[in-house]
Structure 1
């Protein structure tokens, strides 16, 4: 059986790890990229190879390096000879008071949240066969105000939506490009119960989501052969009230 190959950036922890696991469960060989989580990445890779009989290549790269996205794609092609799906999940979300944001903060956030996805899609677009699929992980915060301590993150994620539309048009009809824009599907470790409750007051479905629900949306886009240039919101309807 010829297995398809999926590349997931930021795949060692949290939501990224759930995405990686979902592809292994579906029989994909995997390229598991991480920035600074070698132990978690290797444990996950070993578990998936044992449980699902797939091959998992672990690749460490700091995506703030302009050349890193192309190296990640080249590692995938060198290892497997093919690349069918790319999920760009790596991102930076650092809390900073508006007056405390430095040019260095801005540059790192922009580099990982926006520049790296662009060059990852550029390299993948060259390497993928007809029918390839690229999915960016956006953020509901891109569509909102009221989070001044996350402004660099918000602005770069908003720009990511426009980038998806532009690249989708450019790579069509060979490669489809879409994004998933999740709401609260996995709360930050430091988010209090009170803060979570306040957030959920503006969610019509009145609950947080789950990584599995985000994964379902990703695999819908993988299989949706007539969908490109779309940002799919998986936010419990929060965008209806913001």
Structure 2
């Protein structure tokens, strides 16, 4: 029997203003959750999304702005999130930096940014959220990447950061069980970077390598997150690949 209702739950989504993050926000909100929408620079998009969802259900979305690289501020961010609706039932670690770091030219700024946003911040956010999630028997979902296990040339720092997040997901499931479930979703080709980082030929090669011969949509990730949050009470420590079958034969 499906239990995909999040009515009465308060869930924080990092990087929730646009792209996959916004799809996650909309999907969890439609399932009844109150949303704490975190953003760093996308204030206009965040406000527009929050206004739309608050029009649908008054007072159901709050906004929090923060730079997740400011580790000292992450505990305060979580406390503000918990105060927004008087509780915290879920944390979606979605915010991510993504860009190439050609080997031989990697510098400490690249390292601090990519490791910070993709690995370090989820760790410290999860740690800060632990008391609240333990009280509510909550759940964490980390957005990983199939390239955590199948690295691609030119992106070694990013891939290493996501590999760290994959390992962290399983470790936190051990640390936080039995009170809190922790899982991950690993997207494949869902949305191409808006800056045209990959040319048409590269994109087509990736599509051809999937079993379904097409890209996915942000909603594919969002529906999987919803499943893990609301309809998977006996799943923890797992990583679900949402990649059109691409990782099955890479």
Query: How would you bin the TM-score normalised by the shorter chain?
Result: over 0.9
**Structure 1 stretches (4+) deviating beyond 6 angstroms?**
none
Number of aligned positions between the proteins: 241
Aligned to 2:131: 126
Aligned to 1:193: 200
SS at structure 1 position matched to 2:32? coil
Distance in 2, matches of 1:43 and 1:166, equals 36
Q: Superposition pairs for residues 123-202 of structure 1, below 5 Å?
A: 123-128=128-133, 129-145=135-151, 147-189=152-194, 190=196, 191-202=198-209
Q: Is structure 2 residue 230 aligned with structure 1 residue 225?
A: no
**What TM-score does the superposition give when structure 1 sets the normalisation length?**
0.95
Aligned to 2:112: 107
Give 5+ residue unaligned stretches, structure 2: 1-6
SS at structure 2 position matched to 1:98? coil
Structure number with higher relative contact order (C-alpha < 8 Å, ≥ 6 residues apart): 2
Distance in 2, matches of 1:106 and 1:219, equals 31
Q: Note the C-alpha offset of 1:54.
A: 4.5
> Quick check: 2:169–2:182 contact (8 Å CA) kept in 1?
yes
Q: Is structure 2 residue 84 aligned with structure 1 residue 79?
A: yes
Cα gap change, 1:12/1:34 in structure 2, threshold over 3 Å: closer, same or farther?
same
> Quick check: 2:207–2:213 contact (8 Å CA) kept in 1?
yes
Distance in 2, matches of 1:103 and 1:142, equals 20
Structural RMSD (CA)? 1.5
Aligned to 2:12: 7
Distance in 1, matches of 2:161 and 2:14, equals 17
Distance in 2, matches of 1:153 and 1:230, equals 21
